[in-house]
Amino acid sequence: MKERLVLIGNGMAGVRTLEELLKLEPNKYDITVFGSEPHPNYNRILLSPVLAGEKKFEEIVLNKREWYDKNSITLHAGSPVVEINRVKRKVITADGSEAEYDRLLLATGSSPFIIPVPGADLEGVISFRDIHDVEQMLAASKQYKNAVVIGGGLLGLEAANGLIKQGMEVSVVHLMDTLMERQLDAAAGAMLKRSLEENGMHFLMGAQTDAILGDKRVESVRFADGSIVKADLVVMAVGIRPNIELAKKAGLYCERGVVVNDTMQTYDPRIYALGECVQHRETCYGLVAPLFEQAKVCANHLAELGYGRYEGSVTSTKLKVTGIDLFSAGDFHGDDTTEEIVFQDLAGGTYKKLVIKDNRISGAVLYGNTVDGAWYFQLMREGTNISDMRESLLFGQSAHLGSSGHGGETQASAMSDAAQVCDCNGVCKGDIVKAITSEGLFTVDEVKSHTKAGASCGSCVGLVEQILANTLGGDYSAPEAKPLCACTEFTHDQVRSTIREYELMDKQAVFDKMDWRTPDGCHVCRPAINYYLISAWPGKAKDDAQSRFINERVHGNIQKDGTFSVIPRILGGRTTPHELRTIAEAAEKFNVGEVHFTGGQRINMLGVKKEDLPAMWEFLTDRGMVSGHAYGKALRTVKTCVGSTWCRFGTQDSTSLGMQLEEATWASWMPHKFKMAVSGCPRNCAEATIKDFGVVCVDSGYELHIGGNGGVKVRATDVLCRVNTEQEVMEYCTAFIQLYREEARYLERTAPWVERIGLSYIKKRVVEDAVGRKELRRRFVDSQDVAQHDPWTARAKGAEAHEFTPMKKLGE
């Protein structure tokens, strides 16, 4: 028999909890929903566009009544609950209806604060909180001319903007000297005020409302200094208060809000609460993003999975009014322990202020150009050390990464709706915006699911996130670390640490220990878990063949016609007549469709049938040629030039060094593909400065580079250090690889990994800590000794034919 779940509050937070719960345990509860409004669930974020005439109410409905019916949810719209009987475990509505519960979910939201001044109850004095308020404002705009908005915060300015678009003369009254003082400093607030005035908005700053005057309907507003402003409509937007009366009446412990713990439970373990009505760790939230984070945790516990925890949210604010962009996050005022980096261009309408504490961003204010707001917010939330990027930090992500760096540095707000965002799937900005607003999307993953934007190569994900931020405005916050996949709530880092902490040796042990939702996992989590297992316990953990991608399983890259390409390893681009004859014979024997030279200085045999792959690899390995791993999450190639052996500009023997690097590191599984290069001189013919690890030979030794990428988004490498000998090159290279193998997330290339953790951290571990570097190298060597017997690489045969240098002799 199903348990009974009752939800009080048909708003965004409560219904999102039901959506998350239905994903986890769709058949666990009989669900009943009580809402005070006579509407299904709608998107309150988009009330401002409805007021401005840009949308209709039907366009902002998130869950139509058919959704409730489809999921067997009983909806009582326009039926407010007036009593909770905790002893009999039932709720009672205003019309006397009752519903019993086994679990109760409170999502009663908040109410607008109405200033207690004379005349506040006159006709024409309203708040800006729900669709009914919007309908009243729209009706008033058709009959009256003058409006006064009390409150110069985020909501007040959006209300004023909408009323101006409806043709009213609007005056904004604000008690403070700075608009949006909770989100902006004085300089940014002044710039905002000037821009809004240019667009027809009037302001009365530092004005205290004394009374609202009129007979039956409002006629004017009087202030403490005796001045009077004519008003046919007064909108109060001075703040909200959590709706806690129902909870207090039921005896639940409340302070400013209903007090909940990290699992969103109240002091009554049968009653959960979330959203604007709750107080968590002494904080109440009014933005949507934190409420959705609470919803996932609450659903996790209603489903009795038991491991979700809500630990609070770091929020940001973004406003888009009449073409004005602003962004703020964190402690942007600072104190004696902080420092500020400021850029201000009054004529150009741009202002940037970053507050730095202990080499980390603690607050940010952007006005005019907010394109880098999401990036600064990510750096702040992750506590990234900005020492390495300090000089370019104020100029944004594109300046830090280079004009073609990773991430979505293109300014989404400046793009037209027809501009294509996702080249892989042909998705335009207008398609994404429409999906966000019509489908009620709030996360990048939801956008991927509905539009396919960002779902292929992933290079446009940063731009998709910017479009989300621009569209959702103040209710968007950058996401927390994502779960590994839909099978779990745990992140990559949490899965990896659990494997190490509990010494788990196979994927089933991981599934059992971490309460996986699906018994066999999925195509996303199986390869990731398999990699985390074999990287944590080389030679001990079971390497599951079926958890690898098909390309890795068969050592061939699948082509568009269903055939495969085969690429034997050619060390450093240097081959022999024997190897060339072997490749030619294999091509003839297995009817290869085309033989092609690759950019990695190897030979690709295309058009091989899948059923011929085992025999073809047996033929090649019997003659000493092993897999080039052109299809694996592993070392791909080590590109070289001819170096000092032949080139008149060469300073070192780059070919020989490249071959040593390849011999030492091939067959090493990685979080993602890994490419290296050795250039014989600073002319860099081997393109070492766009590789995961690159060596540039100079007269005095070797310059080591890391974190480059030459793919869709080109990223130049960072210089790790300079060394004097080939042995040092080997030591630093293998230590860097091992650090990457142990700490990067599966399918994370070195370029975004270096950006995420910072160059300083890598230098500290690989360059400055000599003991730690040698330990990293030791672990790499040990794992490679295991790899010599790895059946996936056919290394046993290849090693005999090639007479590979034993690992322990390299770099010593």
- The string of pLDDT tens digits covering residues 689-710 is 999 999 999 998 999 999 998 8
Q: How many CB atoms lie within 10 A of CB 311?
A: 10
In a shared domain, residues 249 and 105: yes
**Residues ≥6 apart with Cβ < 8 Å to 324:** 192, 195, 196, 367, 368
460 is in an annotated binding site: no
Do 223 and 93 lie in a common domain? no
Query: How large a percentage of the chain has pLDDT more than 90?
Result: 55
- AA letter at 84: I
Alpha-helix residue ranges (DSSP H) falling in 452-596: 461-472, 492-501, 507-513, 525-536, 550-554, 577-589
Structural domains of the chain, count: 6
| Proportion of the chain above pLDDT 70, given as a percent | 91
257 belongs to a structural domain: yes
For residue 392, what pLDDT band results from cuts at 50, 70 and 90?
A: confident
Instruction: Let me know whether 743 and 664 are in one domain.
Output: yes
Tokens of 664: 């030492």
Mean pLDDT in residue range 104-132: 95
pLDDT at 40: 93
pLDDT tens, position by position, 122-170: 999 999 999 999 999 999 999 999 999 999 998 899 999 999 999 999 9
Helix axes 444-451, 429-439, angle to 10 degrees: 110
| Whether 166 and 51 share a structural domain | no
Confidence of residue 548 (pLDDT cuts 50, 70, 90): confident
Ligand-binding annotation for 681, yes or no, is yes
pLDDT class of 456 with cuts at 50, 70, 90:
low
* Residue 547: band (very low, low, confident or very high) from pLDDT cuts 50, 70, 90: confident
CATH value at residue 426: 1.10.10.1100
CA dist list (Å): 535 to 207, 289, 445, 633, 772: 64, 35, 28, 12, 18
Predicted confidence at residue 372, as pLDDT, reads 81
**So what's the pLDDT on residue 414?**
61
What pLDDT, on the 0 to 100 scale, is given for residue 411?
Answer: 54
Last residue of a domain, one of 548, 574, 596: 548
Whole-angstrom distance, CA of residue 427 vs CA of residue 422: 5
Quick one: 678 and 795 in the same domain?
yes
Q: Tell me, yes or no, whether 565 and 615 share the same domain.
A: yes
Last-in-domain residue among 238, 253, 272: 238
Question: Do 674 and 589 fall within a single domain?
Answer: no
In one-letter notation, the amino acid at residue 391 is E
Domain boundary among 548, 563, 582: 548
- Banded pLDDT at 459 (limits 50, 70, 90): low
Task: State how far the Cα of 656 lies from the Cα of 574, in Å rounded to an integer.
Answer: 9
Residue with tokens 């965002």: 421
Residue 348 covered by a domain: no
Q: Is the pLDDT of residue 627 over 90?
A: no
Domain range for 465 is: 410-475
Mean pLDDT of 386-410: 65
Tell me, what's the pLDDT at 572?
83
More confident residue, 602 or 118: 118
Question: Which residue would you say has higher pLDDT here, 180 or 274?
Answer: 274
When pLDDT is averaged across residues 786-801 and rounded to a whole number, the result is 42
Do the bridges between strand 29-35 and strand 73-77 make them parallel or antiparallel, or are there none, so unpaired?
parallel
> Does residue 374 carry a pLDDT above 80?
no
Q: What is the mean pLDDT of residues 787-794?
A: 46
- Average model confidence (pLDDT) across the chain: 87
Looking at residue 320, its pLDDT comes to: 55
Say whether both 225 and 92 belong to one domain.
no
- pLDDT for 476 equals 52
Instruction: Identify whether residues 721 and 794 lie together within a single domain.
Output: yes
The pLDDT of residue 466:
78
State both tokens at 344: 């201000």
Is residue 170 domain-resident? Answer: yes
- Residue at 731 is within a domain: yes
Helix axes 461-472, 444-451, angle to 10 degrees: 110
Residue 609 and residue 558 in one domain: yes
